Chain A
């Protein structure tokens, strides 16, 4: 593969590029699709693409192609050069990163995934469906899937970087619903993900079923201001929005309210948040990012204080900060795995401290990082009074501001759970508007 990338780079230089980056990605994906209590379809997808980025006099252009013979790649480079020459210079462009040593990250590749058969993937999906069905007779599985992927990524730059990354991803989800005496509960959603075949799909089936059953016999509540307890699934929505706010591109360009706040306390002092592209088994972990910078761990918020933004080299050079291995392209920044530090209470203790509030395990809503507006519907939620779970609630909206909410955190659980790329505890937040009937 190195030959093809070398050809791409030398072709780019020959045609006049000042700098160039070439990458090749190849994936093979097996998927079992669940619908109405059965695995109904299996699919195999094989994809590959060569991507080239060229810079000609600060003009950046890219070209990608799924046709990957040497001739196709030459044509693709010509296209990129032609586009660059017809474009305009970007005065902020300051060059590709210098090559740096890559980290050692374990648990990103499971050899067994290479040889897994469609039949085995179908069995994994059935194991989830069967567990959900036997958990409770009132449960039906609506849909879901199990997917296993083997991906190879090769990247080379005109600065002399060359990297190879081989990874596997195994993940799935299931949605379920419970019915009882004419009543249909709220949809439940469970997801499991990891980098090896050890992902527990039976657990996923059980979780979807339990959440579905627990939402039966839900009742509305009156509107009140009270305590909000959110599960790691809901915390994912909050911390994903927060991650957009500490992305250096959003800070630089003016979309983030965290601009100019390095060193300031921006959330409650009990919160520590890291971005880690090197966490073992992490779905967003890898050896290098889209510009060839090494992945690493970055402490973004420590005890409530904003320490760093996450960045690629392009934006880091503009802001005069360090790149953190978070390039999702030469121009774009993206979080990897988000690690929220655990608290010191059990979930039960968190709930015991609630005078009046709701405990939410799915949030169907919008969390806007720019102005912090949080607005949406609480699903799989319980009404809590004097430390006791009273009943499931229905039709209840949460309204507030993300940054206020994260300042009003009054506790976090000791247990941290991984939901896709976010590792978060259960969080307790005070003074939240809860809109009932």
Chain B
């Protein structure tokens, strides 16, 4: 392919100009989307994007430049720009950057896509979304709904000065349902999504219409619900909420770039940071996961990172730069939003491993507490302090769910919460897809089983 030849040429030119590491990424994306609201198809869309990002480590500093003009001239200009960016940022550096080596890999990987979304007529995508919309609106309390479908087919090609030549080709599909129900003077929102690596077959395997119905039921159920009483409570977390906590509150603090800045996990490898029931892994897969990453955007083959094993901190997630600084191997966690961005240390699919408890048993064995379900979004500081919006809560009394409560924020310190875990379910599910924002937006996934812990709930006084 012509662009691989050009990419090789650009890499060689960068090396001959004195760069110690150069990579060129060329990426192409095609997306279609459909959105429906309250029975009307509002829009069908197509998006096509292609471009290249050129990165150089030069004079001990990083430079990066991108272009959407895929010609030899334009890529050479991007190299020049990347070198001058590196030169500019090298001024004043006290600790030069380095890039860890990984080796010269030549590979081509394709995602498990059985029905290419490009081959599916738009009418079918429109029907899927309309069916979900009809299902939602069959509940009379529903006021607002917004249902959407999006697929993205992509090809990513990376060539670097280690001699790597890697192609990753794949597709992702995503369908979302937002509902607002109204009654008793209140408007209550609910939201959920199916998002996976794969093709249109995902919607044969996962029933989006049923999921949309569940979202509507949740909004309706919460109409009369009160906000729970705030404070430190015993809580059973569902797979989805646990997935978000593992990612947001804990995972980020194990990203090596943040570890180097100082997080709650800095310098703690080998120490106990969670209950011994807790094992946390960041994985390139499974193959259906929304954050599927066989190779990262630095050409490193991705591997499982066992962050915590039986409560003990084992290792951090690394890109080439942090791995060089810490004197370890890169783990395949260098990811970029697209060709216009330089890679950062990012998670892929982060989850807590299964334990021994029956999930029902965890609730039955809880005398008093809250069952917290479904995350909305969240944020966390690198000291492990986090905040998440929860969509739904149930009051637990003597092992039974007695009444639904309005979702609120939960907060706390990730380490304290993970140390308080005293029951971990058998029911591991990796299906909490989303987009993670850390300067750039990348698809991620995660999950875990049901667990029980102590957590602070921001409810009534």
Whether chain B is bound by chain A comes out as yes
Interface string of A73-104 (1 = CB under 8 A from B): 00010011011101111111000000000000
Q: Is the CB of A142 within 8 A of B382?
A: yes
Partner of B409, one of A33, A47, A366: A366
Separation of A397 and B411 alpha carbons in the complex (Å): 8
Known A-B contacts A36-B260, A118-B89, A433-B460; the reply to A90 vs B66 at CB < 8 A is no
Binds B, one of A196-204, A251-259, A342-350: A251-259
Contact, CB under 8 Å: B64 / A376 = no
A132 within 8 A of B: no
Chain A residues near B47: list those with CB within 8 A.
63-65
Interface 0/1 of B85-105, CB less than 8 Å to A: 111110111110100000000
- A398: Cβ under 8 A from any B Cβ: yes
Interchain CB contact under 8 A, A366 and B68: no
Cross-chain contact of B66 among A46, A223, A331 (Cβ < 8 A): A46
Whether A313 is near chain B, meaning CB under 8 Å from some CB there, is no
- B62, A40: Cβ atoms under 8 Å? yes
Decide if A399 touches B230 in the complex (CB within 8 Å).
yes
On whether A83 and B45 interact (CB within 8 A), knowing A44-B66, A365-B409, the answer reads yes
Query: Contacts A38-B92, A254-B180 hold; do A376 and B387 have CB atoms under 8 A apart?
Result: yes
B42 and A40: CB pair below 8 A?
no
- The smallest C-beta distance from A69 to any residue of chain B, in angstroms, reads 11
Instruction: Choose among B48, B95, B342 the residue that contacts A41 (Cβ–Cβ < 8 A).
Output: B342
Q: Which residue of B lies closest to A72 (CB)?
A: B48
CB proximity of B343 to chain A, nearest CB, Å: 11
Given A40-B61, A142-B382 in contact, is the A91-B45 Cβ separation under 8 Å?
A: no
Count, chain A residues at interface, CB 8 A: 82
CB nearest neighbor in B for A142: B261
Stretch in A304-312, A367-375, A422-430 touching the partner: A367-375
What's the tally of chain B residues with a CB closer than 8 Å to chain A? 83
Binds B, one of A54-62, A163-171, A413-421: A54-62
How many A-B pairs have beta carbons closer than 8 Å: the answer is: 255
B189/A370 in contact, CB under 8 A: yes
Encode A172-203 as 1/0 by CB contact (under 8 A) with B: 00000100000010110000000000000000
Q: Is A352 part of the contact surface with B, judged by Cβ < 8 Å?
A: no
Q: Is B221 an interface residue (CB 8 A)?
A: no
Q: Would A83 and B61 count as touching, CB distance under 8 A?
A: no
Interface flag for A299 (CB, 8 Å): no
Q: In this complex, what residue of B is CB-closest to A141? A: B261
Contact of B144 among A36, A46, A119, A254 (CB under 8 A): A254
A366 interface neighbour in B51, B62, B376, B456, Cβ under 8 Å: B376
7 A-B pairs with the lowest CB-CB distances in the bound complex, closest first = A254-B143, A375-B409, A118-B88, A366-B389, A42-B85, A42-B89, A41-B62
Q: Could you name 26 residue pairs across A and B whose Cβ atoms are closer than 8 Å?
A: A32-B88, A32-B89, A35-B257, A42-B63, A43-B64, A46-B68, A47-B68, A63-B46, A63-B48, A64-B48, A83-B46, A83-B122, A88-B130, A118-B85, A118-B89, A122-B91, A122-B92, A142-B382, A364-B411, A366-B387, A370-B188, A370-B189, A371-B189, A375-B409, A433-B460, A435-B230
